[in-house]
């Protein structure tokens, strides 16, 4: 192979070179291009969002009325378990990696990700991993049914599916670790000259910290599920008290992974919202460096709060107090963020295009989820809330109108940059309003159900919970159906929209990605761009 074909050239003459960009399926299988891989991640995560979402529809349909209506309890448990595994590992996490792939090189002035071949591999592991995970539903034993947290001893009593879940989780972990290594190497090594760390857009900062979290905790999850596997099949006693082990130990190891994991899903959301609000408020982000330090503080604290998931399991009083106060401390940097978003909007010249609507809804609804989290952090009252629908309401508020709304916001925000066309603003707004209203009908009543004592992960319930469950289910069906609008808007934007997007797309948009034409060229920067104050989004706030 000659060097001509081995190297990528960004001169126009070479852009269509067949080695650069194979056609058809081969293009997607062999690609090393960050935009192609970003698209793969985003399409994959959208598919998983609908698969996981249809499981949620089954759950809500079963809970529509008291009594067993549609599914067997065993299958219900499989649905709750798989819904969580798919939404966490298949929808939200890969969606953020998709955004990272598309946007990081464009935001820091790089040609591509730092390790493009590994980038391809980290994506192409995922379809295999999720095929393996989903295939368990068709096994004699059915899918995993012990909850996504895989607590022993219950998870060890699963049938054939158990080992498949463990190995699927291993593959997802390998994919995540490679993806994170790529993100860190890209951000630390491929910034254009002049793009100093404290000039980076907030989305870049939040992803840098997220990648660090992923590298620190995904291997711990791998260790935890490996111990489950050997306890089940090879006679070890990690989680067996008769052999000197402790089932509670699994919970400690799992949540050492699990708590940073929830920040892995929300930190990039903070980043996206911190990009969008300044654009549509036409003001630089308020307190840029405070936002950076707040993100880092949240990441640090996320490592020392894990046992707040375990207050009812039993731990020494000092332990409960430590984890309670450490958890409540997270409210401080998170509060800094929320106040900074509000301050950015203060006296701004605001317009309310779809990305901004989703971003504002994020700020309001995520904060509700954050406040219920603060309630859950109080060890003494958590004894009442634990394992009730209050917890379900809490984490769905931070994940759905939190992470997922930020994903929607980001998708609408950058879709014109990706496709070169404007999406339908009317349908975007319809999507927003239907989603924002229905998501509250879906999850808000669950707070009351939980406070009244309805346990989670149960297919049937006492008749006193009937009304709120029916309301919640109706909200769920509307929310689920309204996501089809999102698909419609995307398909229309990609294939049908005739309205060309300008390079800047949004009047108030600042930052390197908006200096590129829309759609962004296949190769972003062949030579490093010049970074000066005018291209930095938060220029005015710095001296």
Partner 1 sequence: MAQHANDSYYVPHSTKWPIIGSVGMALMMGSAAYWVNESSVAPWTFLAGALVLIYMMFGWFGEVIRESESGMYNSQVDTSFRMGMLWFIASEVMFFAAFFGALFYARVLAVPWLGGEGAGAFTNEILWQGYDAVWPTAGPEDLGGPFAVVPAFGVPFVNTLILLTSGLTVTLAHHALKKDDRTKLIGWLLATVALGFIFVALQIEEYIVAYQHLGLTLGSGIYGSTFFMLTGFHGMHVSLGAIMLAVIAIRAMRGHFKPEHHFGFEAVAWYWHFVDVVWLGLFIFVYVY
Contact set for partner 1, span 283-322 (CB under 8 A) = 314, 316
Among candidates 491, 266, 216, 528, which has minimal Cα distance to 401? 266
Does the protein bind partner 1 through residue 125 (CB under 8 A)?
yes
Among candidates 37, 41, 16, 10, which has minimal Cα distance to 516? 10
Among 48, 222, 264, 265, binds partner 1 (CB under 8 A): 222
Does the protein bind partner 1 through residue 194 (CB under 8 A)?
no
509: tokens are 């948009």
Can you name the residues that pair with 460 across neighbouring β-strands?
Answer: none
71: part of which helix (H) or strand (E)?
Answer: none
Tell the smallest beta-carbon distance from residue 24 to partner 1 (Å): 12
| 112 given a catalytic annotation | yes
Asked if residues 405 and 365 have their Cβ atoms less than 8 Å apart, the reply is yes
| 308 given a catalytic annotation | yes
| 135 given a catalytic annotation | no
Point out which span in 71-79, 234-242, 408-416, 448-456 binds partner 1 (CB under 8 A): 234-242
Among 76, 203, 486, 525, binds partner 1 (CB under 8 A): 525
Placement of tokens 């068709």 in the chain: 138
Tell the smallest beta-carbon distance from residue 526 to partner 1 (Å): 7
Does the protein bind partner 1 through residue 111 (CB under 8 A)?
yes
Among 22, 335, 517, 521, binds partner 1 (CB under 8 A): 22
Cα dist from 33 to 17, 179, 419, whole Å: 14, 14, 16
Using the minimum distance from each CB to partner 1, give the nearer residue, 149 or 237: 237
Tell the smallest beta-carbon distance from residue 535 to partner 1 (Å): 18
Point out which span in 25-33, 272-280, 287-295, 296-304 binds partner 1 (CB under 8 A): 25-33
HSE-up of residue 153 (Cα within 13 Å, Cβ side): 6
| 175 given a catalytic annotation | yes
Distance CA 406, CA 384 (A): 31
Among 5, 69, 312, 349, binds partner 1 (CB under 8 A): 5
Total number of residues binding partner 1 (CB under 8 A)? 92
Tell the smallest beta-carbon distance from residue 443 to partner 1 (Å): 33
- Say if residue 378 is exposed, middle or buried (CB neighbours under 10 Å; 0-12, 13-18, 19+): middle
Using the minimum distance from each CB to partner 1, give the nearer residue, 205 or 306: 306
Using the minimum distance from each CB to partner 1, give the nearer residue, 83 or 232: 232
| 83 given a catalytic annotation | yes
Listed in sequence order, the residues at least 6 apart from 215 whose beta carbon sits closer than 8 Å to its beta carbon are 177, 180, 181, 184
Q: Which of residues 243-282 bind partner 1 (CB under 8 A)?
A: 243-246, 248-249, 252-253, 256
Using the minimum distance from each CB to partner 1, give the nearer residue, 180 or 274: 180
Listed in sequence order, the residues at least 6 apart from 179 whose beta carbon sits closer than 8 Å to its beta carbon are 97, 100, 119, 122, 123, 211, 214
Tell the smallest beta-carbon distance from residue 496 to partner 1 (Å): 29
Point out which span in 71-79, 211-219, 361-369, 447-455 binds partner 1 (CB under 8 A): 211-219
Among 145, 190, 277, 400, binds partner 1 (CB under 8 A): 190
Find the largest Cα–Cα distance for the chain: 74
> Which of helix, strand or coil describes residue 365?
helix
Cis peptide before 121 (omega within 30 of 0): no
Distance CA 155, CA 150 (A): 5
Asked if residues 144 and 56 have their Cβ atoms less than 8 Å apart, the reply is no
Using the minimum distance from each CB to partner 1, give the nearer residue, 252 or 429: 252
Placement of tokens 């254009």 in the chain: 192
Q: Which string of x and - marks every residue 138-177 that binds partner 1 (by CB under 8 A)?
A: ----------------------x--xx-xxx-xx--x--x
- Say if residue 427 is exposed, middle or buried (CB neighbours under 10 Å; 0-12, 13-18, 19+): middle
Q: What is the DSSP letter of 385?
A: H
| 334 given a catalytic annotation | yes
The catalytic residue among 45, 80, 274, 524 is 274
Give the residue numbers annotated as catalytic, written as ranges: 83, 112, 148, 175-176, 259, 261, 263, 274, 308-309, 334, 337, 456
């Amino acid at each position: 192979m000659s060097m001509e074909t081995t190297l990528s050239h960004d001169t126009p003459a070479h852009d269509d070179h067949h080695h650069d960009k194979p056609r058809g399926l081969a293009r997607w299988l062999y690609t090393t291009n960050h935009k192609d891989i970003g698209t793969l991640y985003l399409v994959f995560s959208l598919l998983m969002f609908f698969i996981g979402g249809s499981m949620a529809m089954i759950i809500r349909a079963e809970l529509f009325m008291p009594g067993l209506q549609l599914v067997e309890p065993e299958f219900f448990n499989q649905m709750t378990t798989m819904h969580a595994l798919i939404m966490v590992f298949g929808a939200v996490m890969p969606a953020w990696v998709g955004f990272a792939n598309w946007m990081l090189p464009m935001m820091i002035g790089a040609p591509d990700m730092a390790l493009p071949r590994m980038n391809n591999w980290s994506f192409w592991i995922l379809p295999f991993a999720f095929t393996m995970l989903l295939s368990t539903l068709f096994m004699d034993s059915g899918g995993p049914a012990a909850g996504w947290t895989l607590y022993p001893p219950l998870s060890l009593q699963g049938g054939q599916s158990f080992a498949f879940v463990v190995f699927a989780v291993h593959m997802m972990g390998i994919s995540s670790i490679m993806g994170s290594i790529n993100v860190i190497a890209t951000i630390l090594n491929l910034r254009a000259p002049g793009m100093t760390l404290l000039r980076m857009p907030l989305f870049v900062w939040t992803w840098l910290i997220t990648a660090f979290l992923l590298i620190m905790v995904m291997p711990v999850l791998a260790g935890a599920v490996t111990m489950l596997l050997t306890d089940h099949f090879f006679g070890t006693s990690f989680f067996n008290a008769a052999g000197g082990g402790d089932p509670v130990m699994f919970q400690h190891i799992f949540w050492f992974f699990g708590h940073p994991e929830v920040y892995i899903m929300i930190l990039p959301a903070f980043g996206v919202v911190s990009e969008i609000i300044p654009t549509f408020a036409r003001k630089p982000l308020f307190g840029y460096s405070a936002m950076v330090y707040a993100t880092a503080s949240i990441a640090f604290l996320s490592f020392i709060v894990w046992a707040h998931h375990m207050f009812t399991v039993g731990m020494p009083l000092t332990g409960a107090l430590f984890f309670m106060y450490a958890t409540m401390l997270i409210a401080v940097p998170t509060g800094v963020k929320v106040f900074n978003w509000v301050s950015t909007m203060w006296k701004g010249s605001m317009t309310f295009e779809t990305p901004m609507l989703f971003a504002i809804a994020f700020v309001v609804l995520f904060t509700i989820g954050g406040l219920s989290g603060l309630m859950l952090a109080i060890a003494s009252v958590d004894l009442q809330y634990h394992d009730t629908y209050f917890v379900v309401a809490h984490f769905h508020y931070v994940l759905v109108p939190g992470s997922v709304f930020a994903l929607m916001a980001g998708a609408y925000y950058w879709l014109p940059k990706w496709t070169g066309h404007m999406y339908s603003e009317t349908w975007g707004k319809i999507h927003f309003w239907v989603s924002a209203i229905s998501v509250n009908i879906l999850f808000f009543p669950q707070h009351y159900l939980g406070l009244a004592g309805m346990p989670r992960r149960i297919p049937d319930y006492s008749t006193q919970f009937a009304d709120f469950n029916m309301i919640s289910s109706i909200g769920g069906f509307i929310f689920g159906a309204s996501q089809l609008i999102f698909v419609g808007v995307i398909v229309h934007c990609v294939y049908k929209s005739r309205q060309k997007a300008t390079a800047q797309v949004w009047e108030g948009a600042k930052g390197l990605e908006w200096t590129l034409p829309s759609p962004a060229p296949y190769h972003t920067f062949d030579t490093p761009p010049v970074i000066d104050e005018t291209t930095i989004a938060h220029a005015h706030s710095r001296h």
